[in-house]
Chains A and B, each alone.
Chain A
């Protein structure tokens, strides 16, 4: 049999998975706020709308027109949230995603200063419209970055899900907060991930948060052999299989925002656990799509993706 043609490299561009993100970025860059507003209004009720503010918030320089927008209309909930999100993004870019020990004091100061500028805008947004989910989701990020406390994060999450039960981004952000690195503990984090699974709609992404939890625990266990040993425990593997069955492997699964990350987590975890067959299934489902989380946890994101995918597809 002739050797198969080499597989294409992973594609980390979110636009490939979700073309509307590209459109949103263009609209934001050209200041077409009416179209963005209309787009948000057109989303079906119950949609996790965080991807919209995230897409706009990643556009460099967009803070300038947004400031003008907020200045002209201080009660514009969408504009307040977009500007708040942009400031959080700018702060996060300064902080970088590195571990705290690799972040300088000045970087932290600038990060916190950006979050402190964002927070009053987001407070105002949630005060004006407590059902506007992206604003609460951003306030989970500011609560974490400003270290406002576990209960405060929980309170914000409760306010968010009061109007949006099973809000995936909200659950993912609270799960991070509940991990020990942000002041929580594994028992609470695990219990919460299980609660997300238990309360999830069949085929939704929420059950996939168990994969995220186990990825965090794998990292905490020390990666390598220790990490693999953690993942190979029967109860962990069983939980991962069940979580996949409830989410990305469920017949009702639809590729909503966040799916590349969730499916990527399953692919990475089964690969790390040595379950090449299952890993291969998830890699095939991904095509060549990827996101920096989880692949950044495994080393160079693109190289890791290629390495584990090729290994899985060769045997699975």
Chain B
């Protein structure tokens, strides 16, 4: 058995090479991503990636950049000369970023963000830090100055924190990858906002979504494929409750993988989709794994492992493994493990998954009945401090103290302590929103609660400037309610503070409808187009499953993107 790829080094950067006929593919991977940022600096890695690619201009070969949770990829496909030019150009740009493009690239990123919605699961699982940050908008872009971006690039985009991979007929000559020396960066800690699992939260309108933390393994990957078959069979073929049922498997880099499952639902059929989803999970958890499903999953995975360019397609994942200090497993070994799988192995994965599940059910539904614990939507107590009752006399109040701020309502506390404040959003009209690292938010509307200037100044001073995010003026300031009704009080509880609040842009109803229709139609197709035009199956979005067949991957992308699109309605503050 010969190794499927070779290791070498270029300008101090470890390099992996695999033979592949046809056009050359290559990638430069850095161990940095959104999870390394803070809530108030989100977007800085993505901005660095964009700036580094600007000088590539309108090159007619395929290139791209991808900023993920813990890795940033620069990718290219072309002839040897083009690949060398691209890689050299990226490196020279990284040490001399075109800062004259800073504001333009920020605008481009804001436009890109409008078509991207990674969903709420990371936020609820990890909180407003680390891996949870991919649920949030790129709030940090606004105040970034050239020095900030330069410092970020110097810290993370170094030759000691990078791996190069190349798939082609021969290793190219002429590479000149001049990156500064730095330090190898370990993975960010995996935080948790879930005291207990399996847990659930209610949000969204379109379907049922779940993710599970499982030990990274070929068994878990096969389990994902079997789960998808079961969901499709139960919810689409037998019940006709869903149109799309899909799963995804993404290695997190720390020895665990996140398994995501999704089933869409018409509003009227959400209850049955939820019930069917729960029953599918239960079936696999009790060990009823159909041999035929395992065989089908195995054939699919093995086809990818034995494809002519299988070794080349594994390079982006191998590079990620290298960067996290994990062994790079040879194809033959993966295949041997795949063929030794039995239903018992998948049952073990199902059991592990059951214990770590986080379920997102449509608004108005719950999953307590199925044994899932509600994910926290409130704090255990309020801070000590001065209480400012709502001027609407609706029973709510803000408590402002030296430790932090609490929103209180009968039997409800939402607290953000300054020391755990991931970000403070600030509007010029005086409105503030504190977001705790646990993802809970407290809205501070001074007029609503009669907060004086001195108190507000105290709040502003208590949050570290690096956690403060200034946002542009709001078109619609929240109205001050002056009459108390039970409905108003309930609304305050629901919309005033809680979890998963994202910044909103006021839109007219017509705009909202247009936006939603547009997103519903465009996102699945842009997902497909991206796949087809970029790197096809070598896209490194999934580090150890690069070889999953394109059709399946399309379904996953379409499913994961189409569903959260509906959530845009919720991100948009209604007039």
Residue numbers of A with Cβ under 8 A of B are 75, 115-116, 119-120, 123-124, 126-128, 130, 142-143, 146, 148-152, 154-156, 158-159
| CB of B371, distance to nearest CB on chain A (Å) | 4
Q: If the complex has contacts A127-B283, A127-B286, are A149 and B369 also in contact, measured as CB distance less than 8 A? A: no
User: Is B250 an interface residue when CB atoms closer than 8 A count as contact?
Assistant: no
How many B residues touch the partner, as a band?
20 to 34
- Say yes or no: B370 contacts A123, CB within 8 Å: yes
Which of B270, B365, B369 is within 8 Å of A119, CB to CB? B369
Does chain A have a CB within 8 A of B368? Answer: yes
B279 adjacent to A123 (CB under 8 Å):
yes
Residues of B within 8 A of A159 (CB): 279
Using a CB-CB cutoff of 8 Å, which residues 234-289 of chain B contact chain A? 239, 241, 268-272, 274-276, 278-279, 282-283, 285-286, 288
Residues of A within 8 A of B272 (CB): 149, 151-152, 154-155
Shortest C-beta distance, B506 to chain A (Å), equals: 34
User: A120 to B275, Cβ gap below 8 A?
Assistant: no
Interchain residue pairs with CB less than 8 A apart (29): A75-B286, A115-B369, A119-B371, A120-B370, A123-B278, A123-B282, A123-B370, A123-B371, A124-B282, A124-B286, A127-B279, A128-B286, A143-B275, A146-B369, A148-B271, A148-B275, A148-B369, A149-B275, A150-B271, A151-B241, A151-B269, A151-B270, A152-B275, A154-B272, A155-B239, A155-B275, A155-B276, A158-B239, A159-B279
Contact with A along B365-392 (1 / 0, CB 8 A): 1001111000000000000000000000
C-alpha spacing A217/B29, complex, angstroms: 70
What is the total of A-B residue contacts with beta carbons within 8 Å? 58
Q: Are B288 and A151 in contact (CB under 8 A)?
A: no
CA distance A116 to B368 in the complex (A): 7
Min CB–CB distance B264 → chain A (angstroms) = 14
Rounded to whole Å, the gap between the CB of A139 and the closest CB of chain B is 9
* Residues of chain B within 8 A of A154, CB atoms compared: 272
CA distance A115 to B282 in the complex (A): 18
Interface of B is mostly: helix
Q: Which residue of B lies closest to A158 (CB)?
A: B239
What is the CB-to-nearest-CB distance from B442 to chain A, in angstroms, rounded to a whole number? 30
Q: Within 8 Å CB of A124, what residues of B?
A: 282, 286
**Chain B 277-311: CB-based contact to A (< 8 A → 1; otherwise 0):** 01100110110100000000000000000000000
Contacts of B288 in A (CB 8 A): 127-128
Given contacts A120-B370, A123-B370, A130-B283, 12 further A-B contacts (CB under 8 A): A123-B282, A123-B371, A127-B286, A128-B286, A142-B369, A148-B369, A149-B270, A149-B271, A150-B271, A151-B271, A151-B272, A159-B279
Q: Which residues of B contact A148 (CB under 8 A)?
A: 271, 275, 369
Looking across the interface, which residue of chain A has its beta carbon closest to that of B265? Answer: A151
CB distance from A174 to the nearest CB of B (A): 13
A75: chain B residues at CB < 8 Å are 286
Contacts of B268 in A (CB 8 A): 151
Taking a contact as CB atoms under 8 Å apart, the answer to whether B368 and A127 are in contact is no
Cα–Cα distance between A202 and B466 once the two chains are bound (Å): 78
Closest beta carbon of chain A to B367's beta carbon, Å: 10
Of the candidates A123, A128, A146, A156, the one having the most CB atoms from chain B within 10 angstroms of its own CB is A123
Tell whether, in the assembled complex, residue A127 and residue B276 are in contact, meaning their CB atoms are under 8 Å apart. no
CB nearest neighbor in B for A151 = B272
Q: Which 5 A-B pairs have the closest CB atoms?
A: A149-B271, A151-B272, A127-B282, A152-B271, A152-B275
Query: What is the bound-complex CA distance between A120 and B373, given in angstroms?
Result: 13
What B residues does A143 contact at CB under 8 A? 275
Q: Which one of A119, A130, A155 has the greatest number of beta carbons of chain B within 10 Å?
A: A155
Set of chain A residues within 8 Å of B241, measured between Cβ atoms: 151, 155
Report the minimum CB–CB distance from A312 to chain B (whole Å).
43
Q: What residues of chain B lie closer than 8 Å to A155, measured between beta carbons? A: 239, 241, 272, 275-276
Q: State which of A116, A126, A127, A150 has its C-beta within 8 Å of the C-beta of B369.
A: A116
CA distance A152 to B366 in the complex (A): 13
Question: With A and B bound together, what is the CA distance between A128 and B286 in angstroms?
Answer: 6
Distance of A163 Cα from B489 Cα, bound (Å): 49
Which residues of A lie under 8 Å from residue B285 when comparing CB positions? Answer: 127
A residues in contact with B239, CB < 8 Å: 155, 158
Question: Which residues of B (75-94) have their CB < 8 Å from a CB of A?
Answer: none
Nearest chain-B residue to A115 (Cβ)? Answer: B369
Given A151-B271, A152-B274, A154-B272, decide whether A126 and B279 contact each other with a Cβ distance below 8 A: yes
Q: Which residues in A have their C-beta under 8 angstroms from that of B370? A: 119-120, 123
Most chain A CB within 10 A, of B241, B268, B270, B371, is at B371
